[in-house]
Amino acid sequence: MDGPHNAQANAGTAHGDGANGRRLPDFLLSVNLKYVKLGYHYLISHLLTLCFVPLTAVTLLEFSQMSYTDVRLLWLHLQFNLISVIIFSTVVVFGLTVYIMSRPRPIYLVDYSCFRAPHDWAASLHAFMEHSRRTGDFDESSLEFQRKILERSGVGDETCVPEAMHTVPPMPSMAAARDEAEKVMYGALDALFCNTKVKPKDIGILVVNCSLFNPTPSLSAMIVNRYKLRGNVRSFNLGGMGCSAGLISVDLAKDLLQIHRNTCAVVVSTENITQNWYFGNKKSMLIPNCLFRVGGSAVLLSNKSVDRSRAKYKLVHVVRTHKGADDKAFRCVYQEQDGAGKTGVSLSKDLMAIAGGALKTNITTLGPLVLPISEQLLFFATLAVKKLFNNGVKTYIPDFKLAFDHFCIHAGGRAVIDELEKNLQLLPVHVEASRMTLHRFGNTSSSSIWYELAYIEAKGRMRKGHRVWQIAFGSGFKCNSAVWQALRNVKPSCNGPWEDCIDRYPVKLVL
């Protein structure tokens, strides 16, 4: 493809030829192919409209040429076929009624909030390493390994760990774990109820997810007790489902909202650090220590038509992919004990390859739902050519930037973000929210995608009609996607997670 520099060179050559030196350059050489591609997408996307307009024009022209006699004859014809007209009208009305009654109810995201830990919970990289050394649980090799992981992780100095992990020695007791869960969940819920003015008694559905901490009574029961939710609230507590559990919770709430009319649902997503810190020396189990940090979110969903006017987003799609039938995928994120009997979560070396396979399966399902028909035609055309004629033909990668305006990629680690940026052919601005969330808050597990969405809003980038793609990966192994559409120009809510620091971002990261 000829770029601007080649076009200018060709123009200069043409200018030098001829007697008067005024020949025009070859415009075909200066055409940027991206505009040809955009024109193709526009043509295919509006093909039905482009065909419908001439048809409508011809129909109107025919009607305009009808005389009074022609109109009268048409009316008489309809009168003599009154039974046919009545039957046709009945079928149309019945069909429209069935369609309206059976179509899925729209699900609105009224608002959400993210927990912002107090400043004294912060653990800078230097403080993290010093604290790890002072505990006496790690040998020199493990300390050096953690230092290297931290330096390359993209995690900044303001990420937070719970109070129990700041002491020497750490005190990961059940009471401390409960205290962390309460502060995170109640902090997010207090902000949500304050911003939305919703009364806890109005909540009909409650879904809570936390992968590694599942006490009795459950986390959902703790919330019911704290906010005195009504006795018939439908509460659910999801455990062991990894970092993608937030979208699983949204999907569950969506299905329940399709059944129960005029109802609000709250989805709470968090992870517990206190009882899940690894104090051993197995390298594959040390990585979560370096990445996971305190965080949580609370999301208010509604199927009430009156909530549309104040809602931020409408849920468009949820697509879930589970690769647990494959043994490697099942064990790539695995909680176990090491040789010394110390419990932790082990990450397999095959994690990125398995995540890539899960993503491929997920977008194969999601693509036809969101991609313009032009991208789908290109994809299937190259796939057909590859299968029928030449196995060496490279499969066309659909351009998801044509389907989405914003991307919230789970901030699981720098490698995850890098790979998705590369494989989906995204621009740096598309992964900025994920990188900055990882830097400021670390990997907050299932709540990370909500910190990312809050970043986009805090930057003032969310406009009415914009589509957002949330992508999350989790143990099992799972890849889940949710698509939201903005119902208005979205502004950040009060007491948002970026309220005190958005002016400092984006920061330059050391690669």
Residues noted as catalytic: 243, 322, 406, 410, 439, 443
Q: Which residues contact 50 (CB under 8 A, 6 or more apart)?
A: 43
Strand partners, 473: 479
CB 473 within 8 A of CB 244: yes
Q: Which two tokens stand for residue 316?
A: 């468009």
Rounded-to-integer distance, Cα 272 and Cα 215, Å: 11
Rounded-to-integer distance, Cα 270 and Cα 99, Å: 38
CB 273 within 8 A of CB 123: no
SS3 for 407-459, per residue? EEECCCCHHHHHHHHHHCCCCHHHCHHHHHHHHHHCECHHHHHHHHHHHHHHC
CB 425 within 8 A of CB 399: yes
Closest CA relative to residue 296, chosen from 213, 236, 420: 213
CB 359 within 8 A of CB 424: no
Rounded-to-integer distance, Cα 192 and Cα 215, Å: 24
Query: How do strand 108-114 and strand 296-302 relate by DSSP bridges?
Result: antiparallel
Give φ, ψ of 234 to 5 degrees. -90, 105
How far is residue 147 CA from its own chain's centroid?
30
Query: How do strand 406-409 and strand 467-474 relate by DSSP bridges?
Result: parallel
Strand partners, 292: 443
Closest CA relative to residue 292, chosen from 428, 134, 128: 128
What angle (nearest 5°) sits at the alpha carbon of residue 160, between those of residues 157 and 162?
Answer: 150
Would you tell me the crossing angle of helices 351-370 and 373-388 to the nearest 10 degrees? Answer: 120
Rounded-to-integer distance, Cα 226 and Cα 217, Å: 12
Rounded-to-integer distance, Cα 465 and Cα 405, Å: 9
Would you tell me the crossing angle of helices 140-153 and 283-291 to the nearest 10 degrees? Answer: 40
Query: How do strand 406-409 and strand 264-270 relate by DSSP bridges?
Result: unpaired
